[in-house]
A = this chain, B = another copy of it.
Amino acid sequence: MRISVCRKEHFNAAHRLYNPGWSDEKNEAVFGKCNNPNFHGHNYDLVVRLIGEPDPDTGYVYDLKKLKDLIRENVINKFDHKNLNLDTVEFKKLNPTAENIAITIYNILRTKIDDKYEIKITLYETERNFVEYPY
């Protein structure tokens, strides 16, 4: 009787796609306008999904108010209104693609949420470009 419960949050951040092991020309060729050295930015929409069994006393799989607070404390406060490349430890060396941001958020929340829950992250970089981890 597995059921998933989902909470949507958002954050606004600047970033730049860049591989420091490559020349400027190769970075420009691969990442195009996303490689702009002065950064660009997005409104990121984040959906966190927990999969588990409902508690018979509450009817909850997980209190979504608590999930909201957990996401805000551990993810939104870290990334909102930040430059992902310059202001965060997570992306000092890791290229902040949507894929890597989703994996990073998964790893952060995985340490905060009981292992009896499966976790899935959906991250919308724009309304038209989005990723899901793990699939």
Interface residues on A, range: 35 or more
- The verdict on A109 contacting chain B, using a C-beta distance below 8 Å, is no
Which residues of A are in contact with B by a Cβ distance under 8 Å?
1-10, 12-15, 17, 19, 21-22, 30-34, 36, 38-43, 49, 51, 54, 57-61, 63-65, 80-83, 86-87, 94-100, 102-103, 126-135
Report how far A59 CA is from B125 CA in the complex, Å: 14
Given contacts A4-B135, A99-B3, A130-B6, contact A14 B39 (CB under 8 A): yes
Q: Are A5 and B99 in contact (CB under 8 A)?
A: yes
Contact of A14 among B8, B10, B22, B40 (CB under 8 A): B40
Q: Which of B33, B82, B103, B129 contacts A81 (CB 8 A)?
A: B33
